[in-house]
Homo-oligomer: A and B are copies of this chain.
Amino acid sequence: MNQFHILENRFPGRRAALKRDILEQALYCFIELGVEATTIDAIKARCETSVGAIYHHFGNKEGILSALFFAAQDDQRQHLDQELANTNSLREAVYSVICSYLDWVVANPEWARFLYQARSAVAKGPFQEELKDRNAKGFRELKAKLLGFGNESNSIVQPFEIVISLIVGPSENYCKAWLAGRVQTSPRDYREEFAESAWRSLQR
């Protein structure tokens, strides 16, 4: 299972072979050169195809970027949902959110780096509505799950608006630092610290 299983899962079949290849080489370029600095020509050269084929499949550069972005985001969310499905208490749920996040980043560092880099571009581009809808949906579902543990949810004494920030803020911040090389220790090594800190920060 290489780092491109995400694409194979999401664009399966023989018909989509070139489409997958374009995305694969584009991701490589985005990571290697940065989103802004990769040219259509560079992608074209790497998969030995034509600009026509690229524009036929994706419309424009944003189209490639967004397809990659949503594929990665879907995979990350799928991973979260799997972890979250087995939880039976609020505390377990909080732990799941943190751990699935840290695990996914460590398992897919290139994709994670790309997600961080591409977010702002997608948020402004032609797919901004789709991004908003997806984020809103994810937020809604997570909120429902966290508040769905009956009485126990009273242990969240913070205004819910800031709960998500309290839970994922530190992990996200550390993962970015790790992907940028500013810290060396794998985020996985701090699973307990981040999860326990998040849990306690929800209480008073």
CB pair B169–A162 under 8 Å, yes or no, is no
Chain A window 167-184, contacts with chain B (Cβ cutoff 8 Å), 1 for yes, 0 for no: 011111110010010110
Instruction: Please tell me if A106 contacts chain B, counting CB pairs below 8 Å.
Output: no
Instruction: Please tell me if A201 contacts chain B, counting CB pairs below 8 Å.
Output: yes
CB pair B197–A166 under 8 Å, yes or no, is yes
Q: Report chain B residues within 8 Å CB of A182.
A: 135
Q: Report chain B residues within 8 Å CB of A198.
A: 201
Instruction: Please tell me if A59 contacts chain B, counting CB pairs below 8 Å.
Output: no
Chain A window 112-156, contacts with chain B (Cβ cutoff 8 Å), 1 for yes, 0 for no: 000011001101100000000001000000000000000000000
A165-B173, A171-B169, A193-B159 known; A37-B124 Cβ under 8 A: yes
- Choice from B158, B164, B169 contacting A193 with Cβ under 8 Å: B158
Expressed in whole angstroms, the Cα–Cα distance for A164 and B177 within the complex equals 10
A197-B201, A200-B200 known; A185-B173 Cβ under 8 A: no
Residue of B nearest to A123 (CB): B180
A36-B36, A193-B159 known; A173-B169 Cβ under 8 A: yes
- Choice from B162, B174, B190, B204 contacting A170 with Cβ under 8 Å: B162
In A75-127, the 8 Å CB interface with B consists of 116-117, 120-121, 123-124
Instruction: Please tell me if A69 contacts chain B, counting CB pairs below 8 Å.
Output: no
A-B contact pairs, 19 of them (CB 8 A): A36-B121, A36-B124, A116-B120, A123-B180, A158-B197, A159-B185, A161-B185, A162-B170, A164-B173, A165-B174, A166-B170, A166-B197, A169-B169, A169-B170, A169-B173, A170-B170, A170-B201, A173-B173, A196-B204
